[in-house]
Amino acid sequence: MTEKPWIVLVGGFLGAGKTTLLLAAARELERRGLRSALILNDQGEALVDAEFSDLHGFQSGEVTGGCFCCRFSDLLQVIDRLREHFPDVIFAEPVGSCTDISATTLHPLLEFSETYRIAPYTVLVDPVRADALLFIGADSNLRFIFEKQLQEADLICITKSDIYPHVPQIGYPTARQISAKTGQGVAAWLDEVLSGGLRVGSEILDIDYEQYAQAEAALAWLNAELNIRCRVPQSPAMILGPFFDCCDRDFTAEGISIVHMKAIVHADSGFVKAAICANGQAPTVEGMLDASPALDHHLLFNLRAVGEAGNVRQIVETNLASIEGDCAELRIRCFHPAAPKPERRVSSFTSSVHSLDLKSDLSSRKAGTAATNPP
């Protein structure tokens, strides 16, 4: 590695396994004697994945309140701050409901090629999600985002091969299979994206931003955080299990489709994390199921679902109130994402990158800042 750290962007739809892969990649780099850092991104605050990565001891940062495209200046600040820890690789995962990353994030980052090396854009695909969204009759909003994410990828990886060995028909024959859980393909993927041999930002989307805004707004976005003081000691699993199952049950009863639901309960004795990508799905559980009972717990809950934000919030609040114990310092926010407004965007794939201020008029847009594209 040289003095210039790599920036590796890894996208993919909600629940594709981005954080899980990046933590596995960080462990692989650690075995090679290399340092890494992770940047998480979300429309809201109080992130399950941020706490999960911190509990694993990795350096991390957050860009909240919008996707990388709308918070590009914030992304640069977090990158610069993480560089103080001298990472060889900085991983960054954009929000799972966002697309147009190549034009709004990857290419603007190439303007800083004297300071950083930019890796090709990897997009992860959950094979079950692909099967669900790439058929006639699938939710048109979710399918729009999913297909656009595939179209702009420099590299596509099919995840969760340890659970789902089949390769979905996504129309990209060069996609490779990986499993962050078993480690299958992780080292090879790292070698490929850090080789400098692949083209970066090769696909820039022709995207209808009105349709894109409509697709994102179809999702209700809920993040919640609170402290729990139990009346009698309980393990993290005893807190999380019933709450998680009841939320799943109540969303199903109300016809609210879960797109990604995850939660983590942390006590001094340990933590437990659970996640599902559909109603009634068996949760993926990580952490310490045998952690000792404790009085004090910290709960983080993140949900993305197809439904009205008000209904979603009411169900979550009802189930939070049913937790046995005294709840304090509750922070909860539920909303539909606002229309994306990128800070910068490449207008076309030419020999230079033009930064566009979408709030300015057409004449000012033509006066963007030039930057050199990669070979």
| Structural domain contains residue 1 | no
pLDDT of residue 348: 59
What is the CB neighbour count within 10 angstroms for residue 137? 6
Q: Could you tell me the strand order of the sheet in which 219-234 lies?
A: 284-287, 270-276, 257-267, 294-306, 219-234, 326-335
pLDDT tens digits along 261-312: 999 999 999 999 999 999 999 999 999 999 999 999 999 999 999 999 999 9
Mean pLDDT score across all residues of the chain: 89
Domain identity same for 211 and 229 = no
Q: Please report whether residue 263 resides in a domain.
A: yes
pLDDT at residue 351 is higher than 70: no
Task: Please report whether residue 154 resides in a domain.
Answer: yes
**8 Å CB contact between 230 and 324:** yes
Kindly state whether residues 313 and 273 are assigned to the same domain. yes
- pLDDT value at 320 more than 80: yes
CATH number, domain containing residue 51: 3.40.50.300
Do both 52 and 78 map to the same domain? yes
> Are 11 and 44 within one domain?
yes
**Number of separate domains in the chain:** 2
Same domain for 329 and 253: yes
H-state helical runs in 230-338: 236-253, 309-321
**For residue 233, what pLDDT is reported?**
95
pLDDT at residue 46, as a whole number: 80
Which of 49-53, 187-191, 289-293, 357-361 bottoms out in mean pLDDT, i.e. has the lowest?
Answer: 357-361
Rounded (to 5) percent helix, strand, coil in the chain? 30, 25, 40
Asked if pLDDT for residue 365 goes beyond 80, the answer is: no
Question: Residue for token digits 């994206």?
Answer: 193
Nearest to 28 by CA among 175, 192, 166, 159: 192
Q: Which two tokens stand for residue 316?
A: 């979550």
As a whole number, mean pLDDT of residues 108-125 equals 95
**Mean pLDDT of the region 55-80:** 93
**Is position 371 within any domain?**
no
Residues 45 and 116 in one domain: yes
> What tens digit of pLDDT does each residue of 145-170 get?
999 999 999 999 999 999 988 888 88
Regarding whether 130 and 233 lie in a shared domain, the answer is no
| Model pLDDT, residue 55 | 82
| Residue 346: predicted pLDDT | 87
- Res. 352: pLDDT tops 60: no
pLDDT given at position 316: 97
Does residue 150 lie in a domain region?
yes
Quick one: pLDDT at residue 54?
Answer: 84
Residues 6 or more apart in contact with residue 117 via CB below 8 angstroms: 2, 4, 5, 6, 7, 196
Shared-domain flag, residues 320 and 357: no
- Domain identity same for 199 and 243: no
Structural domain contains residue 340: no
- Binning pLDDT at 50, 70 and 90, where does residue 353 land? very low
57 and 97 in a single domain? The answer is yes
The predicted model gives 201-206 an average pLDDT of 92
Structural domain including 320 reads 219-335
pTM of the model: 0.89
More confident residue, 209 or 173: 209
pLDDT at 361: 30
| Overall average pLDDT of the 59-64 stretch | 92
Question: 23-61, pLDDT tens digit by residue?
Answer: 999 999 999 999 999 999 998 888 888 888 888 888 899
- CATH code of the domain in which 287 resides: 3.30.70
Q: What is the mean pLDDT of residues 184-190?
A: 96
**Sign of the C-alpha dihedral, residues 310, 311, 316, 322?**
positive
- Give the range among 13-17, 109-113, 173-177, 261-265 with minimum mean pLDDT: 173-177
Domain assignment present for 76 = yes
What is the percent of the chain with per-residue pLDDT over 90, rounded to a whole number? 78
pLDDT for residue 370: 31
Answer whether residue 251 shows pLDDT above 50.
Answer: yes
Tell whether 303 and 354 lie within a shared domain.
no
Mean of pLDDT values over 333-343: 96
259 and 150 in a single domain? The answer is: no
H/E element, 91: strand 89-92
Residue-level pLDDT at 167: 85
pLDDT (0 to 100) of residue 125: 96
Average of per-residue pLDDT across 168-185: 88
Q: Side chain identity at 317, as an amino acid letter?
A: E
Q: Is 108 among the domain residues?
A: yes
